[in-house]
Chains A and B, each alone.
Chain A
Amino acid sequence: MSSEAHTSAEYIHHHLQNLTYGQLADGTWGVAHTSEEAKAMGFWALNLDTFIVSFLLGAIFLLVFRSVAKSVVAGTPGGLQNFCEWAIEFIDSSVRGSFTSKNNMVAPLALTIFFWVFSMNLMDLLPIDYIPLLLGSFGVPFFKVVPSTDPNATFGMAIGVFLLVLYYSVKMKGLGGFVGELTLQPFGKWGMPVNFLLEGVNLIAKPISLALRLFGNMYAGEMIFILIALMGGAWAGFSATNVTLFGSQILLSLGWGIFHILIVTLQAFIFMTLTVVYLDMAHQEHH
């Protein structure tokens, strides 16, 4: 924004900093006002913006579906019920397509992942300066409104999925079976260390790829929105260059925004489908 107050680097930096709550250098607890302060808080700090926005989005999603679930009727459904039923049938059919075992937890898990990730990604389409500016006028130093551009959120979910994968692997195959799967293939029992290395990487790759794919896509998307916003942000009085930049900002954000609708949906769907596939693999014996 206002180029006289910020350089481009500062602008970008400002947009990529989470609102972090933790222990400050002087020993008191509070919100970090610079990214150095936030970094110095170490592990025991909370990104308030990520936490609050993702909680609100999840709560809205659950409340909407809950309100339908409470008044659900087997007869002719109304508008909102129609939508929820469509969503549930869509999730149900795609889970049935890739999950072969029986587990009542997987479909609701997929539903939650899809809508939660989708709504978090959707925040990317909000004009990127409005909310930080609005909250900034109340003294909030940073506010990153897209939770899925915070690796904490994506890794948090991926870890949840990973724990489920571990749990069901052990539950379905037994501890011995799971350890055997990790160590006895593909080279038989004499190749145990190599096997473990390969299978271990294979296992760890699942949550990491889940988290990084979503984070990378959304972060890159957000980054491009920020760069586009810089064009108009360079405004310094009427001149042919400035007007051209301003116009290009509008056109480019429109184009990128429309393209982003696809990415937002696609990433939510990919996260959901991969989760289902990983859980399916956890339920099945390798041969």
Chain B
Amino acid sequence: MNINATLLAQTIMFALFVWFSMKFVWTPIVAALDARKKQIADGLADAERAKLDLELAAKRSAEILREAKAKAGDIIANGEKRGSEIVEEAKNQAKVEGDRIVAGAKAEIDQEVFRAKEQLRTQVSSIALAGASKILGREIDAKAHNDLLDKLVAEI
């Protein structure tokens, strides 16, 4: 337990240890700690910014959605209008076509009626002729009585 040169040795050793610790231990570790602190602060700032961006994006998306809805409504209305127009047009066209067909059919019927009448008239004249010849008992000379027959046909 004597005081001796160990005292000096310990003081020098102490100084060297402190120097080493300052130079090679403290500085790099504290630098890393500071770097991490900065990293965390940056991360938090980024998160804050991202949150703001997200809010903005949500607002924008809502706006776009609203616009899209309005547009879709317009399109549907337009479509309905156009659809009813087409239906209307088709109706008109069908009516016109129907009228045309009905008119054609009527004309044909008239023609047919006329033709039947004509036929009937000739048949009636020949029947009448046959009847008359039977009544008279003799052959009527068709040639001689053509005028008469035509008159008859015209009358029927």
Q: Are A156 and B7 neighbours in the complex by a CB distance under 8 Å? A: yes
Q: Are B6 and A46 neighbours in the complex by a CB distance under 8 Å? A: yes
A112: Cβ under 8 A from any B Cβ: yes
| 6-31 of chain A: CB within 8 A of chain B | 16-18, 20, 22
Of the candidates A51, A68, A112, the one whose C-beta lies within 8 Å of that of B10 is A51
Q: Are A44 and B4 neighbours in the complex by a CB distance under 8 Å? A: yes
* Most A-side CB within 10 Å, residue of B2, B5, B26, B35: B2
What are the interface flags for B1-43 relative to A under an 8 Å C-beta threshold, 1 for contact and 0 otherwise? 1111111111101110110111011111111110110010000
A165: Cβ under 8 A from any B Cβ: no
- Chain B residues with a Cβ closer than 8 Å to the other chain, count: 32
Q: Are A160 and B39 neighbours in the complex by a CB distance under 8 Å? A: no
Main secondary structure of the interface of B (DSSP, over half): helix
- Chain A residues with a Cβ closer than 8 Å to the other chain, count: 52
Measured between beta carbons, the chain A residues less than 8 angstroms from B22 are 104-105, 108-109
Quick one: given A104-B22, A107-B26, are A22 and B4 in contact (CB under 8 Å)? yes
Kindly provide the distance from the CB of A197 to the nearest chain B CB, expressed in whole angstroms: 25
Q: Are B4 and A43 neighbours in the complex by a CB distance under 8 Å? A: yes
What are the interface flags for B32-65 relative to A under an 8 Å C-beta threshold, 1 for contact and 0 otherwise? 1101100100000000000000000000000000
Measured between beta carbons, the chain B residues less than 8 angstroms from A85 are 29, 32-33
Interface residues of A (CB under 8 A from B): 16-18, 20, 22, 38-39, 41-47, 50-51, 54-55, 58, 62, 65-66, 68-70, 72-75, 84-85, 88-89, 92, 104-105, 107-109, 111-112, 116, 150-153, 155-157, 159-160, 163
Query: Which 10 interchain pairs have the tightest Cβ spacing?
Result: A156-B10, A152-B6, A108-B22, A74-B35, A108-B26, A72-B32, A69-B28, A47-B6, A65-B25, A112-B21
Known: A45-B6, A108-B27, A112-B17. 20 other contacts (CB 8 A): A17-B1, A38-B2, A41-B4, A43-B3, A45-B2, A46-B4, A50-B6, A65-B29, A66-B24, A69-B29, A88-B29, A88-B33, A105-B22, A109-B18, A111-B26, A152-B3, A153-B6, A156-B11, A157-B11, A163-B11
Interface residues of B (CB under 8 A from A): 1-11, 13-15, 17-18, 20-22, 24-33, 35-36, 39
